[in-house]
Amino acid sequence: MAETAGPVVIIGAGHAGDAAAALLRQYGFAGPITLLGDETFAPYHRPPLSKAWLKGEADAAALALRGPDFYARQDIALRLNMRVTELDRGGKRVRLADGTSLPYAVLILATGAHARALDIPGAGLAHVHSLRTRTDADALRAALAASRHLAIVGGGYIGLEIAASARALGVAVTVIEREARLLARVASLPLATAFQRLHEAQGVKFHLNAGIAAIETAAVILADGTAHPADNIVIGVGAVPATQLAADSGLDCANGVVVDMAARTSDPDIFAIGDCAARPVPRYDRRLRLESVPNTLEQAKQAAAAITGRAPPAPETPWFWSDQYSTRLQIAGLLLDVTGTVVRGNPGDAKFALFHRAADGTLQAVEAVNAAEEFMAGRLMIARRAKPSPTALADLATPMRAILA
């Protein structure tokens, strides 16, 4: 794409929108940039919301993505509390909730995702929470201060991180999961089992294979009719991409706004990045929606490079992290086309790694628990489509740097 001089409008002042605005300036874009967000707060880190922020261990300055004068210094017009209600692609304008509209030459959709809601009786009660925004986290934090028993519906990363934070605050926790195991969509069975044990050792109770039928004032009712006491409930059953503006304006959407490797949508003047985008992932030859900070940064780079006429950045290997208690999980790659797993260390121990391989021995993913070296070496090997020796991987006496070499 030729370099653009006209106004860039970014919808969504989250991680992706913030990164795109900053990178445009870094790459030399000198035209007007407007960053529109419907939240009250300037862009902030979302990952601490279920971790340090929930436990009261981080302050607002640490949560903010930038210092207070960053946007003014970069000549980025940050407009908060401002919802975009409509895209007029023909007229190249966005309409705002205050009735005004803004012209764009290039538009970036960075609208993120919403917490998925559950359509069950009682889901709207005041003690039922979800966790996506700082406002959600503040409400949950206030509730946990007076809570004795939290029920979490959903045993994914966010549910488990909230469980760890609630235990640190001395609140009893029950996790209710529809599937037969935790982290069913996002982690291997041995990893999920290790995390279940980690939480059980901290006193968390699990109900697996358990549907939820209703929520009452002091209990959750499971599909089998049993009642489980809870004075607060978190629904943590995944996120739904915020694609309404895109879909209403006729952009291609399929579980996210469909984009190419430049983050460009089916309209050449509109980009979509972050949790709202369904992007190609060349390493796995698929189109996927990735919900992670590293993905938002990679796609922000793709869009900013295309808008400023730079060469496209090299594709990155997807990665993710999660912190629970004093355990740091790092995952590189995706658990796709996996036919076998090599265990390094013992999944019952504080430190171990799981290397997942394709049928031909190619390393596809590594799940590293308190094992930074294994994570970093694994990430490089995944990018190189390496076929490391399973014997060496399983042998703790063989250093990762030797395997990498």
Give the binding site for ligand FAD (CB under 6 A): 11-17, 36-39, 46-47, 49-50, 83-84, 110-113, 131-132, 158, 242, 245, 274-276, 291-294, 296, 320-322
123-143 b/e with 16+ CB inside 10 Å = b?
Answer: beeebbbbbbbbebbeebbeb
Question: Which DSSP state fits 41?
Answer: S
Rounded to a whole number of angstroms, the minimum distance from the CB of residue 213 to ligand FAD is: 26
Length of the chain: 405
Q: How far is 259 from 280, CA to CA, in rounded Å?
A: 7
Cα→Cα distances 370→41, 125, 195, Å: 33, 39, 12
Rounded to a whole number of angstroms, the minimum distance from the CB of residue 321 to ligand FAD is: 5
CA 2 from chain centre, in angstroms, equals: 31
Residue 193 tokens read as 């089992």
Rounded to a whole number of angstroms, the minimum distance from the CB of residue 226 to ligand FAD is: 29
Q: Which residue lies nearer to ligand FAD by CB, 294 or 390? A: 294
Q: Which residue lies nearer to ligand FAD by CB, 228 or 328? A: 328
Rounded to a whole number of angstroms, the minimum distance from the CB of residue 22 to ligand FAD is: 13
Strand 340-345 and strand 352-357: the pairing is antiparallel
170: Cα within 13 Å, side-chain hemisphere? 3
DSSP E strands in 211-369: the ranges are 212-215, 219-222, 227-229, 232-235, 239-241, 257-258, 270-272, 277-281, 286-288, 319-324, 327-333, 340-345, 352-357, 363-369
The DSSP bridge partners found for residue 84 are 96
Rounded to a whole number of angstroms, the minimum distance from the CB of residue 206 to ligand FAD is: 20
Contact 403, 379 (CB under 8 A): no
Q: Which residue lies nearer to ligand FAD by CB, 110 or 204? A: 110
DSSP 203-232: T-EEE-S--EEEE-SSEEEETTS-EEE-SE
Residue 314: what residue type? A
Cα→Cα distances 125→106, 150, 180, 203, 217, Å: 42, 14, 28, 27, 8
Q: Which residue lies nearer to ligand FAD by CB, 14 or 122? A: 14
Rounded to a whole number of angstroms, the minimum distance from the CB of residue 96 to ligand FAD is: 8
Structural Rg of the chain based on CA atoms = 22
**How many Cβ atoms are within 10 Å of 175's Cβ, its own excluded?**
26
Rounded to a whole number of angstroms, the minimum distance from the CB of residue 160 to ligand FAD is: 11
